[in-house]
Amino acid sequence: MKDVIFYSYYHESNAVGSLRSKALEDVLGDRFKLDIRYYKTRNTYRQSTTQKENRSLWLKKLTSSIRSIDESLFGHFFREEILKIIREDRNHKRIIYCTYKPVANIILGVFRKLIHGGYLVLEFRDLMSLFGRKPKISVLHQIDTFFEKMLLRSADLIVVVSKTQKEKLQQLTNKKIIVITNGVDSYSQVEPIKSENVSLLYAGSLSKDRDLTNILEWLRETDVRVYVATKRLPDNISGNKKIEHVGWLEEKALDELCKKVNGFILLEGHGEDSNENIPAKLFYYLKFRKTIIADIGVSSDIWGLSGIHNVLIDIKSKEYSELDMLKACPQIRELERRFILSKLVNQLDGL
pLDDT of residue 53: 55
CA distances from 62 to 69, 78, 151 (A): 11, 23, 22
The answer on 203 and 166 residing in a single domain is: no
Where does 58-214 show beta strands of DSSP type E?
Answer: 95-100, 119-124, 157-160, 177-179, 199-203
The answer on 164 and 35 residing in a single domain is: yes
pLDDT of residue 344: 73
Task: Say whether pLDDT at 118 is over 80.
Answer: yes
- Most confident stretch, 190-199, 268-277, 318-327: 268-277
The answer on 161 and 62 residing in a single domain is: yes
Q: Is 33 within 8 Å of 4 (Cβ atoms)?
A: yes
The answer on 150 and 107 residing in a single domain is: yes
The residue from 149, 179, 209 where one domain ends is 179
189 falls within a domain? no
- Please write the tens of the pLDDT for every residue from 281-314: 887 787 787 888 999 998 898 888 877 777 788 8
pLDDT of residue 42: 47
The answer on 260 and 148 residing in a single domain is: no
The answer on 220 and 175 residing in a single domain is: no
Task: Say whether pLDDT at 138 is over 70.
Answer: yes
User: The domain containing residue 87 runs over which residues?
Assistant: 2-179
pLDDT of residue 200: 92
Under the banding of pLDDT at 50, 70 and 90, the label for residue 183 is: low
The residue from 179, 214, 235 where one domain ends is 179
Number of domains comprising the chain: 2
The rounded distance, in Å, linking the Cα atoms of 82 and 111 is: 8
The answer on 163 and 75 residing in a single domain is: yes
Between 228 and 181, name the one with better pLDDT.
Answer: 228
351 falls within a domain? no
pTM confidence score: 0.79
- Please write the tens of the pLDDT for every residue from 193-230: 555 668 899 998 888 888 999 999 988 888 889 999 98
The answer on 134 and 55 residing in a single domain is: yes
The answer on 238 and 285 residing in a single domain is: yes
34 falls within a domain? yes
112 falls within a domain? yes
pLDDT of residue 177: 92
The answer on 64 and 162 residing in a single domain is: yes
350 falls within a domain? no
- Read off the CATH number of the domain in which 297 is found: 3.40.50.2000
**For residues 169-195, average pLDDT:** 71
Q: Is 182 within 8 Å of 280 (Cβ atoms)?
A: yes
- Please write the tens of the pLDDT for every residue from 232-263: 888 888 888 889 999 988 878 988 899 888 88
pLDDT of residue 77: 85
The answer on 210 and 136 residing in a single domain is: no
Q: What is the 3-state secondary structure (H, E, C) of 98-131?
A: EEECCHHHHHHHHHHHHHHCCEEEEEECCCCCCC
Three-state secondary-structure class, residue 177: strand
15 falls within a domain? yes
The answer on 237 and 158 residing in a single domain is: no
**For residues 305-334, average pLDDT:** 69
**For residues 114-121, average pLDDT:** 91
- Please write the tens of the pLDDT for every residue from 39-86: 655 455 455 555 555 555 555 556 677 888 887 888 788 899 999 999
94 falls within a domain? yes
129 falls within a domain? yes
